[in-house]
Amino acid sequence: MLLARPVEILASEEGRLLLRALGPEAEAALGRLADWCGCAPAAIESIQAGWQGGGTDEVIGGVAVRLVAGQHVPTDEGARNRAWGATKPVTLNEETYYRGQGLAFWVPSGEADRVLVITADPVAGTPAGPIGLGESLIADTIRAAIESRDLPGEELAVDLPRDLAVLAGMLDAESHLMLFGTPHYLLNRGRAALAGSRGILFEPLRWFFGESIAAAGLSLHIGDNCYLELDAVTPLGQPPRKEAPELVSRLSSLPTVVEAAVAAINLDPYGKVLVLRLPAMLRLLVANIRWAPEGEGVVINAYLPRHAAHNLVVATDLMLAQSAGAPALAGIETVSTTSAGVLGRLDQKITIVFPKDTLEAAVQMVADQIGIPMEIVGTDLQLEGITKNQSFGLAEQDQSARDVLGRILAKANPDGKLVYVVGKDGETETILITTRVAAEKRGDSLPPECAPPAKR
């Protein structure tokens, strides 16, 4: 499903740049909707579009467009014919919709002529032809709307699968742009959406979502900052707190993967500088992500500079357009997080505030926010007389996880005996909280911020 708010998007410079960055297809689609509604694109308050797989190579879908107050969709026959072409009226339960060439149109009563519902008919038809799948959809929508009107105080109920229903409860309807659904559809029946240069995204999307994400949504809000949010729901029986770090880990490795992909491309001079900057843009994104479990899912979000949205879209589009046949992204599954990559994740900005809690709890808070497993080596601390249950307070906002972890260790032991190193739990990289003495005895490599000052 796609949700968009054109009136708010087009009201800002960044929104207009974003629409241009999305390409001529997006601009043409918005223009076509505006023509059907008999208004300018900026007069569209919201767009709600949805589609799903039908039979072989079929897509069943529709869109509901709401106009701003004072605007009205075509209602008289002449205006309808100019906007929709030749149509035939069909009455259903006191509502009238109009069958056109491959499309069906409905102006719901009780909406002050501000709403237009359009469904695509995958069965090629004519105004006099048989009802196709698209018209079945609009008929079902009309019946559901009428049933809801008979229930005082009830809004239109949508019967969603369990995973999408959970996801819908997590999403912010005020976002300017939102795309959500089931990754499984996009990677199977909906693969046609990845046609052309977007086809190279198939393997990265399969790697990113895999079988661990049942439903996901990506949303964008443009204001003084660019706000991005990824909401994901894990399958029933899989705790999001367990799956979330893996998702964050894959997201954090994207800059390295894209950097390798860009290096493998013979870039066209047009847009070359912007494409070369894409890995740095993604590193900024990764450095600003925060995440937390929410109910049966997980929320990952980031605040970026105001103009980040259109720059990310243009750079990504240019890279994909020049990557045809390049195998670099197809090898994404072989990418593993190195020790340097694990430490690089500590550059992410986090916020941790609590009046009083234990060292163990504070370390877990950092681990949860950046998606890296962390473990306190209790036996090492005991040899130095340090306990992981001692309590202290902390108030760190929008600081790097590296700095926050350093302050946590300093509060737990002002003498500077506590350090952290990179370890392994099977094949998974982890951060171990230990002591300087124990790390030196084992020959552990200390990160620069934990290394002792050089002697003069």
Instruction: Give the model confidence (pLDDT) of 319-366 as tens digits.
Output: 888 876 454 454 454 443 444 557 777 887 788 888 889 999 999 888
In 3D, which of 413, 422, 367 has the Cα closest to residue 392?
413
Structure token pair of residue 188? 């199977």
CB 297 within 8 A of CB 240: yes
At residue 107 the predicted structure's pLDDT band, cuts being 50, 70 and 90, is very high
CB 304 within 8 A of CB 226: yes
Enumerate the domain spans of the chain.
Answer: 1-159, 163-335, 345-450
Q: What is the pLDDT of residue 304?
A: 94
Q: How far, CA to CA in Å, does 108 sit from each of 96, 117, 121, 172, 269?
A: 8, 8, 19, 25, 51
Mean pLDDT of 374-382: 93
Handedness of CA 281, 26, 134, 104 (dihedral sign): positive
Structure token pair of residue 117? 């519902």
Q: What is the pLDDT of residue 456?
A: 38
- Decide which of 3.40.50.150, 3.40.470.10, 3.30.450.20, 3.55.50.30 is the CATH code for 345-450: 3.55.50.30
Radius of gyration of the chain (CA): 26
- Percentage of the chain beyond pLDDT 70 is 85
Higher pLDDT, 405 or 428: 405
Only one residue has tokens 């509604």, namely 37
Q: What is the pLDDT of residue 150?
A: 52
Only one residue has tokens 């962390």, namely 374
How many Å apart are CA 93 and CA 116, to the nearest integer? 18
In 3D, which of 164, 168, 171, 201 has the Cα closest to residue 186?
201
* Type of residue at 43: A
Supply the pTM of this predicted model. 0.71
Residues 6+ apart with CB under 8 A from 270: 318
At residue 64 the predicted structure's pLDDT band, cuts being 50, 70 and 90, is very high
* Type of residue at 361: A
pLDDT tens readout for residues 168-209? 888 888 899 999 988 887 777 777 677 666 777 777 888 888
CB 288 within 8 A of CB 348: yes
pLDDT tens readout for residues 235-272? 776 777 777 777 887 888 888 888 888 888 888 888 88
DSSP code of 329?
Answer: G
Q: What is the 3-state secondary structure (H, E, C) of 50-62?
A: EEEECCCCCEEEE
Q: At what angle do helices 254-263 and 240-252 cross, to 10 degrees?
A: 30
End-to-end CA distance of the chain: 63
Q: Provide the Cα torsion 255, 261, 265, 269; round to 10°.
A: -10
Higher pLDDT, 275 or 123: 275
Looking at 70-79, 204-213, 324-333, 383-392, which range is the least confident one?
324-333
- Measured in degrees and rounded to the nearest 5, phi and psi for residue 349 equal -85, 135
How many Å apart are CA 180 and CA 198, to the nearest integer? 17
